[in-house]
Amino acid sequence: MSCKEDKQAPSDDLKLRRDRFRAEVLSGLRKSQKELPSKYFYDEQGSRLFEHICALDEYYIPRTEAVIMETHIEEIIERLGPNVLLIEYGSGNCAKTRILLSHLREPAAYMPIDISQEQLLCTTRELAADYHGLEIIPVCADYTSDFELPVLKRPSARRVVYFPGSTIGNFDTIPAKHFLEHIAGVCGPSGGLLIGVDLKKDPDVLHYAYNDRQGVTAAFNLNLLERINRELNCDFQLEWFEHYAFYNPREGRVEMHLVSLRDQTVHLDGMTIPFAKSESIWTESSYKFSLDDFQQMAAGVGFKVERIWTDERQWFAIQYLVNTAGATL
């Protein structure tokens, strides 16, 4: 079974995803502060660029998170327990997930969920070759939308959602609460959430993490426009836009933008979209939390923080939360 064969999908599904992509792009570009959903960064090229970002010296998140995982893996596995269904949101290349899969005690199944179908299915094939006997059920979906979980071959003792990398920081405050509420419904009463949370720190560290010297993050940001051109027949001139990222201390977040370098117009679906010089498209937010901030937000949707693991600089935290209320979706 090759990755080329795996990535085939029913044409209706492809059309539905393309139509949703077009609708969200048009909606975002019509706003007074133009914006694009960050979930669309991850086409094939975007996924490769993000893997490159994760290997950069400046981008501390994956390296710090992996050290925490490796240092405390026995305690983490004890919290998850045996016969667990591990559901990962935004699985990517599953690098950190392998640390979990290599230590889990008789897991019921692993269910990676990702919007990038090609990477999802190719990674699933690689994991299946390395973890014989583990049921791996890939789900190609936008995890911020409604989707159904496939039925397992055997029942699990509990569901645990794994959400690493501090992706929770990409949501604004109210959507973040709604998303956590959705996760609570997925994992069900007494289910768990193992989540990565990036912590507040020196703004200079944050600046360089999103403005690397090699320009990989800039290429990653601009690739979103390239994807829109290719998939939606748009005419963005990439050389007329520039990556811009900065820390907003009042809001406690890093913001990524694409700034127009001149007055210009872009055409999509019969619409003419004007840009003034220095006008920006907001492509991503990355909120940074204090431990108290995150605990209060999680408690508001019925999650109790049971355990927190951090690095010695306290730049990043992995937290295990238990759902104390709600029903299984």
Domain limits, the chain: 3-57+203-287
Residue 258 tokens, joined: 């694409």
Alpha carbons 91 and 114: distance in angstroms, whole number? 6
Alpha carbons 97 and 278: distance in angstroms, whole number? 41
pLDDT of residue 2: 29
**294 closest CA partner among 279, 310, 281:** 310
Asked if 116 contacts 42 with a C-beta cutoff of 8 angstroms, the reply is yes
Residue type, 60: Y
pLDDT of residue 11: 59
pLDDT of residue 6: 38
Sequence-distant (6+) residues with CB within 8 A of 154 are 108, 135
Q: What is the DSSP letter of 240?
A: G
Alpha carbons 106 and 158: distance in angstroms, whole number? 12
- Within 13 A of 209's CA, how many CA atoms are on the CB side? 21
Alpha carbons 98 and 165: distance in angstroms, whole number? 14
Q: Block means of pLDDT (10 residues each) for the chain, length 329 residues?
A: 37 80 97 96 91 95 95 96 93 80 94 84 90 91 81 90 94 94 91 97 97 98 98 97 97 97 96 97 97 95 96 97 73
What backbone torsions phi and psi does residue 44 show, to the nearest 5 degrees? -60, -45
Strands (E), 183-227: 192-198
Sequence-distant (6+) residues with CB within 8 A of 86 are 80, 97, 100, 101, 104, 107, 109, 110, 111, 160, 162
Strands ordered across the beta sheet of 253-260: 241-248, 253-260, 280-287
